[in-house]
Amino acid sequence: MNIPVEKEASKASPFSLLVPRSMQTRMGFLVLISTALIGLFVSQNQSVVAAVWVIANVFGFTLQRSRFCFASAFRDLFLFGSGHNMKGIIVGIGVSTIGFAAIMSWIVPNTNSGTLPSEAHILPVGISVIVGGIVFGIGMVIAGGCVSGSLYRMAEGYVASWITIGGVILGLAALTMTWNWWWDFTISTEPKIWLPSSTNLGYTGGVAVTLIGLIIIYLLVIYRENATGIFTPDIATKKRPAQDFQSRIRNTLDPVFKKGWNVALGGATLGVLGIVLYTIHMPLGVTGELMRASQLGLGWTGLDVPVLNGLADLGGCTGISDDKGLITHTFAITVGLLPGALMGALFAGEFKLRLPNNWRRYVQSLGGGLLMGYAAGLAVGCTVGALFSAIPSLSLSGWVFGIALAVGAFTGTQVIKRIH
């Protein structure tokens, strides 16, 4: 089975020689210093946005080092029976769930007060999230990456990922022009179902139900792996002989900067980052700034961009910000992950321009991106905002989106089989 991949650029390409492997570590430090200076500059007037920028840098670094991608998690599970990446997602959601519950209990101590915790990704449940999840699942498998996965691969030099994100922005623009139809048709009447209050479970019950659900899914993933004979081998590490001080320092840092992370570690790290981000501002989400970019693009074309009914009251990845100027919190979290991922690629010596190996890959990237963009706008979030941050918010919408996403991803794998 040939999965959408991208080949490395020819050695003759000037782009592949732009950052020689021998220079990549030095370039990584240059990126580190540059992004730190940006954070310092922003902190002069926007301390919270500066903190979000730093978290986003770590977010991008973690995505790159652990190869954390929702598309590969679903695709590999359905095509090959490998649940390696899916387990990492489950671990991350589980970590975030515990932290989010603590934060929300501080914001809203009484779950029966009729108030929802501010900024939590508690989104409408109905046709919109089902259609959004299915379409997004199809799109991410066809494109070969979800939105966050495509963003970190952009920083690694994957040309197809740039095309995918371009498609996402176009898809969000299309959603912007049709949002009010969806609002009138279904979203305006869709309820927000928050497990602690809607089911009278409280925080303890809501967390318990969520964790039990995650454990069941984890066991199902193991069952799927067992049925297909897929397992993750234990790689024995050789004992190293006595080393000098410099070698010991290098061997300490290599697992962080040079070697790939275990995806469970990546998931847990992202879970902690989500908790920290929610503590200072709001949960993780990456499509909000792309939504803003799509609307700016529509304005530049001279089209009459409609006022989006009800969007400001939904929460999630709306792209709406009270911050002034270019560097808003949505800009910081989305754009900020790029230098973080670039640092990860450079320190590991993995940065190189990679070109699609045939014209169909360009079409898949653009088409998959269009589907993901439209769906993420409809569901008010992608796999990060509508799933990874919604389930820990104890929102039923996260589970509905996840089930719909699985249906879409399975459908996408069938499409990929026929294309290849």
| Calpha distance 379→333 (Å, rounded) | 19
Determine how β-strand 354-356 pairs with β-strand 6-8: antiparallel
**pLDDT attached to residue 255:** 63
Contact indicator for 319, 189 with CB cutoff of 8 Å: no
| Calpha distance 49→406 (Å, rounded) | 34
How many other β-carbons are positioned within 10 Å of the β-carbon of residue 240? Answer: 9
Q: What does the block give as tokens for 193? A: 């179902």
**pLDDT attached to residue 318:** 72
Q: Of 186, 175, 143, 226, whose CA–CA distance to 377 is shortest?
A: 175
Indicate the DSSP class of residue 22.
G
How many other β-carbons are positioned within 10 Å of the β-carbon of residue 239? Answer: 5
How many other β-carbons are positioned within 10 Å of the β-carbon of residue 157? Answer: 23
**pLDDT attached to residue 302:** 84
Q: Of 223, 194, 189, whose CA–CA distance to 399 is shortest?
A: 194
Contact indicator for 263, 88 with CB cutoff of 8 Å: yes
Collapsing DSSP states into helix, strand and coil, what is residue 218?
A: helix
The β-bridge partners of 6 are 356
The answer, as to whether pTM is greater than 0.75, is: yes
Angle subtended at Cα 37 by Cα 31 and Cα 43, rounded to the nearest 5 degrees? 140
**pLDDT attached to residue 366:** 96
Indicate the DSSP class of residue 358.
S
The β-bridge partners of 354 are 8, 158
| Calpha distance 289→329 (Å, rounded) | 9
| Calpha distance 104→121 (Å, rounded) | 11
**pLDDT attached to residue 9:** 42
**pLDDT attached to residue 420:** 66
Which helix (H) or strand (E) is 362 found in, with range? helix 359-379
**pLDDT attached to residue 4:** 52
| Calpha distance 420→360 (Å, rounded) | 10
Output the tens digit of pLDDT for each of the chain's 420 residues: 445 544 444 343 444 446 677 789 899 999 999 999 999 999 988 899 999 999 999 999 999 999 999 999 999 999 888 898 999 999 999 999 999 999 999 999 999 988 999 889 999 999 999 999 999 999 999 999 999 999 999 999 999 999 999 999 999 999 999 999 999 999 999 999 999 998 888 999 999 999 999 999 999 999 998 888 765 554 444 555 556 656 656 666 666 666 778 889 999 999 999 999 999 988 999 998 999 899 889 989 888 888 899 988 887 777 665 555 667 888 999 999 999 999 999 999 989 888 888 888 899 999 999 999 999 999 999 999 999 999 999 999 999 999 999 999 999 999 888 776
| Calpha distance 329→52 (Å, rounded) | 7
Q: What does the block give as tokens for 2? A: 């040939």
**pLDDT attached to residue 276:** 97
Q: What does the block give as tokens for 227? A: 């049925």
Q: What does the block give as tokens for 174? A: 């299309």
Query: Token pair 């400001």 is at which residue?
Result: 312
Cα-trace Rg, the chain: 21
**pLDDT attached to residue 1:** 46
